[in-house]
Amino acid sequence: MSLLKRPEIARQLDAKDPLGHFRTRFHIPRHADGEAVYLCGNSLGLQPVTAGPLVEEALEDWRRLAVRAHFEARHAWMPYHELATARMAKLVGALPLEVVCMNSLTVNLHLMMVSFYRPTPARHRILMEAAAFPSDRYAVESQLRFHGYDPREALVLAAPRPGETSLRIEDLLGLMQRHADTLALVLLPGVQYYTGEVYDMDRIARTARHLGICVGLDLAHAVGNVPLQLHEWEIDFAVWCTYKYLNAGPGAVAGCFVHERYARDAERPRFAGWWGHDKATRFQMGPTFAPIVGAEGWQLSNPPILSFAPLLASLEIFAEAGMDALRSKSLQLSGYLEMLLKDALGEQVEILTPLAPSQRGCQLSVRLHGGATRGRNLFRQLEGRGIVCDWREPDVIRIAPVPLYNRFTDVHTFVATVAQLLRG
DSSP secondary structure letters along 7-28: HHHHHHHHHT-TTGGGGGGBPP
- pLDDT number for residue 117: 98
- pLDDT number for residue 110: 98
- Judge whether residue 159 has pLDDT over 80: yes
Beta-sheet pairing, 155-158 with 125-129: parallel
Among 21-25, 58-62, 308-312, 342-346, where is mean pLDDT lowest?
Answer: 342-346
> Within this chain, do residues 125 and 225 fall inside the same structural domain, yes or no?
yes
Let me know: does 359 contact 371? Beta carbons within 8 Å: no
Let me know: does 38 contact 388? Beta carbons within 8 Å: yes
Per DSSP, the residues of 233-258 read HT-SEEEE-SSSTT---TT---EEEE
- Judge whether residue 228 has pLDDT over 90: yes
C-alpha 144/C-alpha 148 separation (Å) is: 6
> Within this chain, do residues 12 and 140 fall inside the same structural domain, yes or no?
no
Where is 417: in which H helix or E strand? helix 408-423
Listed residues 319, 335, 350: the one ending a domain: 319
> Within this chain, do residues 179 and 86 fall inside the same structural domain, yes or no?
yes
- pLDDT number for residue 33: 83
The percent of residues above 70 in pLDDT, for the chain, comes to: 100
> Within this chain, do residues 11 and 30 fall inside the same structural domain, yes or no?
yes
Domain that holds residue 123: 55-319
Let me know: does 203 contact 210? Beta carbons within 8 Å: no
- pLDDT number for residue 361: 96
> Within this chain, do residues 267 and 368 fall inside the same structural domain, yes or no?
no
- pLDDT confidence bin for 216, thresholds 50/70/90: very high
Residue 350, strand partner residues: 367
Closest CA to 264 of 224, 295, 229: 295
Closest CA to 10 of 364, 340, 403: 340
> Within this chain, do residues 339 and 254 fall inside the same structural domain, yes or no?
no
What is the tally of structural domains in the chain?
2
Residue 34, strand partner residues: 31
- pLDDT number for residue 333: 98
- pLDDT confidence bin for 218, thresholds 50/70/90: very high
- Judge whether residue 157 has pLDDT over 80: yes
> Within this chain, do residues 213 and 295 fall inside the same structural domain, yes or no?
yes
- pLDDT confidence bin for 149, thresholds 50/70/90: very high
- pLDDT confidence bin for 16, thresholds 50/70/90: very high
Listed residues 261, 289, 319: the one ending a domain: 319
Alpha-helix runs per DSSP H in 41-104: 51-65, 69-72, 85-92
> Within this chain, do residues 24 and 119 fall inside the same structural domain, yes or no?
no
- pLDDT number for residue 424: 75
Where is 100: in which H helix or E strand? strand 99-101
Mean pLDDT of 240-267: 97
Average pLDDT, whole number, for the chain?
97
Per-residue pLDDT of 269-297, as tens digits, reads 999 999 999 999 999 999 999 999 999 99
> Within this chain, do residues 216 and 155 fall inside the same structural domain, yes or no?
yes
Q: What is the pTM of this model?
A: 0.96
> Within this chain, do residues 117 and 199 fall inside the same structural domain, yes or no?
yes
> Within this chain, do residues 33 and 105 fall inside the same structural domain, yes or no?
no
Listed residues 257, 284, 319: the one ending a domain: 319
- pLDDT number for residue 260: 98
Closest CA to 110 of 146, 155, 84, 81: 146
What CATH number corresponds to the domain at position 42? 3.90.1150.10
What CATH number corresponds to the domain at position 110? 3.40.640.10
> Within this chain, do residues 261 and 405 fall inside the same structural domain, yes or no?
no
The percent of residues above 90 in pLDDT, for the chain, comes to: 98
- Judge whether residue 205 has pLDDT over 90: yes
- pLDDT number for residue 169: 96
- pLDDT number for residue 377: 96
Where is 216: in which H helix or E strand? strand 214-218
